[in-house]
Structure 1
């Protein structure tokens, strides 16, 4: 089926039950490199991405400019810590929903996450989510969510050979996901109840508790997609 539209998936707590493990491994990795003074008020950061938060804490602790060249070693250490934790599980219904979009709709899929790449791939693999690595965009070389989602969309255009998607729906569990979608002018579907009050304040049009509650026709109606 020709793909004319696009779904952009966040990963942590959107497709995988992994935010807690992710944050724990992330902090452990920072400490292992001597970054011990860590601001863990994640919502206080301008950009909710692993690379940006690492940059801010790196510069606070070491009093020198951060370089992306630090990412590979940090990413390897963080992934090692993640592997030592219980395996990541899917958000209820996530696997079936991803397969639904790919097999039964004209919506292409891609993944845009503030996570670093190797941890992101590990979480998707452990949760049994069907994905193409080339369609996963992360924060390894980018600091902002807008850059990440935009890059994921460009990857999807290239992979599915689509010049422009008619409709793009971004799916995420965080207020930063909703604001990123708004900034990029794409539709947004909120998932999970953790940030539902923030979603309401942002005036989002469509929200589901988890993927078992997903009704695509209802979502399209709420988002006014014909």
Structure 2
């Protein structure tokens, strides 16, 4: 059995532009902080929780209080609700996930840098229910590699008698690549906008979408073996 873990934004959903706008607008509305020209790669932890904590460290020289994070989440989610018509699946992503889920050869999980509530909203807007899968988010940890580790742990606990042949992660960001390198697991890049940033970073396995499931499946079968 292979463990396949997916990121969400930019990996199975075309949601990055609207999502980024809502996140940036949230901090402008609530704190008058302008993040319009920010490069997310400049942050130590590119997750909603990690970025929020670093913003507070930079601007306010302190960590956010729990109540403040909840206010940020609520405002951000409300903005996202107004953008749900802009969220679409990356071509054939959901049918490919269904194909994997129907096979006894795979366990499927999701590890996103987004918060749990907003990730569920975005997925449900395209008819995808995360409740059917192992799912961890920035609500569980601020560090992306740790989020992926939590998915792996739950998958291991769920299938105690199974030895995974391989573990791999589908992602679209350089931060996804970094996390998989830290964990020593295989990585398949998703570049539906064809910006080539992952190829330029040395990623050999990159797909634009999931319209050719045989091609994607072949890349999965080539994944590294678990020690």
> Residue in 2 aligned with 1:218?
218
Confirm whether residue 14 of structure 1 aligns to residue 23 of structure 2.
Answer: no
Worse-superposed segment, 111-120 or 194-203 = 194-203
Report the CA distance between 1:48 and its aligned residue.
1.0
Partner residue, 2:53: 55
Which residue of the partner structure matches residue 105 of structure 2?
106
CA gap 1:138/1:224 in 2 versus in 1, 3 angstroms: closer
Mean CA deviation greater in 9-18 or 83-92? 83-92
Residue 168 in structure 1 maps to residue 167 in structure 2:
yes
* Corresponding residue number in structure 2 for 1:127: 126
Q: Distance in 1 between matches of 2:163 and 2:64?
A: 36
Q: Where does structure 1 differ by over 4 angstroms across 4 or more consecutive aligned residues?
A: 160-164, 193-196
C-alpha distance after superposition, 1:109-166 (max 9, x if no partner): 1110111111100111112224326622111242211111111211222344456522
Report SS of the residue matched to 1:127: coil
**Does the residue aligned with 1:7 lie in a helix, a strand or coil?**
strand
> Could you tell me whether the CA contact under 8 Å between 1:111 and 1:137 is conserved in 2?
yes
Gaps of 5+ in 1: none
Residues 57 and 63 in structure 2, CA contact (< 8 A), matched pair in contact too: yes
- TM-score normalised by L of structure 1: 0.87
Q: Distance in 1 between matches of 2:53 and 2:194?
A: 26
How does the TM-score come out when normalised to structure 2? 0.87
**Superposed counterparts of 1:41-190, under 5 Å:** 41-87=39-85, 88-132=87-131, 135-161=134-160, 164-190=163-189
Aligned residues: 223
- Aligned in 2, Cα 1:224/1:133: closer, same or farther, shift over 3 Å? closer
RMSD: 2.4
